[in-house]
Amino acid sequence: MTGPAAAAVPSFVAVSSHLRRLALVVIVLGAGTASAQAAPAREAALVYLALGDSTAVGVGAATGGGYPQRLARRLEASGVPVKLTVLGVSGATTAELRRDQLPKVLAARPALITIGTGINDLMQGRKLSEFARDLEVVADLVRRTKATVVLQTLPDLTFSPAGYGAPPSLGRRIEAYNATIARVAERHGFVLADVYGKSRGQLRDRQGELFGKDGFHPSSAGYEVWAEAMWPDVERAVVHPRVQARRTAAAAGER
């Protein structure tokens, strides 16, 4: 074909080149879509509130924070992203926790709450009945959040340098406080982390290493022992259900 009409008809070479470009675009777009579908959605961060006293803050540790920060790092390492807020205040009694920290709990909508309280009540000589009353009020409110709540026993302070020479009544009072904590945990369906029982041997054998310069607060190594004592209970209550949920979702997606 010749003349103007022939010029209007695309050549075979031009058409083939155009089709190859279109095919390449389709392949690239398809690959991008497949990658987007294959990429798993990032799990929302678990909102973790730490209620308590100076041990939640990490007083005495040179590095690494208190037990909440160490638990949060263990959760992250287990594949659970965490948003940690420490509400604990150094020196707080359970009455002060109830007054100052508790009002902030519901608005935060937590999925995990740890409560470490009673040491300051004990050291200030508060009556066991007063401690029990305040802890019961705290427990009643945090239960309403539907969060996983981990309540912990007090460590054996008779092994601390500050506890040297303390009368036997100190050990008996610690045991009485811990019995109260265990009853509250059972009554409200909380996880009980037995820091007392699980850390006692190490506190006895490694006193100089596990306490800070003041002889009362844990050192960095002491907080590591504390977090390690709590971790199996936290892992079982928080990590294991999430791992099982992921497996169930993955199996459903393969059907």
Residue range 106-144, pLDDT digits in tens: 999 999 999 999 999 999 999 999 999 999 999 999 999
Strand ranges across the sheet with 82-86: 82-86, 46-52, 112-116, 148-152, 191-193
Instruction: Give 179's contacts (C-beta < 8 A, 6+ positions apart).
Output: none
Residue 22 pLDDT: 45
Domain assignment of residue 163, given as a range = 46-244
Residue 190 pLDDT: 98
pTM as predicted = 0.82
Residue 253 pLDDT: 73
Cβ contact 76:235 at 8 Å: no
Cβ contact 94:121 at 8 Å: yes
Residue 42 pLDDT: 67
Residue 255 lies in a domain: no
Per-residue CA distances from 206 to 161, 166, 198, 199, 203 (Å): 11, 19, 14, 10, 5
Count of domains observed in the chain:
1
Residue 225 lies in a domain: yes
Q: What integer best gives the mean pLDDT of the chain? A: 87
Average pLDDT in the 69-93 region? 98
Which segments within 58-121 are labelled E, that is strand?
Answer: 82-86, 112-116
Residue 155 lies in a domain: yes
Question: Is 254 a residue whose pLDDT tops 80?
Answer: no
Stronger pLDDT, 243 or 117, i.e. the higher one: 117
Write the pLDDT tens digit of every residue in 26-80.
444 444 444 444 445 667 999 999 999 999 999 999 999 999 999 999 999 999 9
Strands 82-86 and 191-193: unpaired
Residue 219 lies in a domain: yes
Residue 253 lies in a domain: no
Residue 195 pLDDT: 98
DSSP single-letter state for residue 190? -
Residue 15 pLDDT: 42
Residue 173 lies in a domain: yes
Residue 129 lies in a domain: yes
Q: Which range is least confidently modeled, 84-88, 133-137, 207-211?
A: 207-211
Provide the CATH number for the domain around residue 106.
3.40.50.1110
Q: Band of the pLDDT at 230, cuts 50, 70, 90?
A: very high
To the nearest whole percent, how much of the chain has pLDDT over 70? 82
Residue 59 lies in a domain: yes
